[in-house]
Amino acid sequence: MTTLSISLLQAAQSNGGGMSFIVMIVLMFAIMYFFMIRPQNKKQKEIQNFRNSLSKGQEIVTAGGIYGIIRDIDDVKNIITVEIANGVRIRVDRNSIYASAPTADGQAASTQAPAKDNYAK
């Protein structure tokens, strides 16, 4: 017999010690799921919903910290054209959009309604 099967037989023959060990391991995985994995999945879903709801004219912040206004959205290539100054437009990947730009009162702009255009055309 291998040492693994011998140790499993010894654990099964002990006075319920094996069962409490299994329950403890299952409990540890349940705690990890509810405190680490589940909140992370919810956050990723929220971020994906935000990125899917982007619209033209919305003020955003890229992951690199660039503030701008969305001028064009290419859903096929997942590329967004962002105007960062008068006549200066850059193309960024949709996944690099971090958040809505904060308004003057410090609150993030709503993702539903496009923000007003602060740049002259």
- The SS3 of residue 73 is strand
pLDDT tens digits, the chain, 121 residues: what are they? 566 566 656 655 555 567 888 989 999 999 998 899 999 999 999 989 998 888 899 999 998 899 999 999 998 998 999 999 998 999 999 988 888 877 666 555 544 444 445 554 4
Q: Identify whether the C-beta of residue 109 lies closer than 8 Å to the C-beta of residue 59.
A: yes
CB within 8 A of 21, min separation 6: which ones?
11
| pTM summary value | 0.58
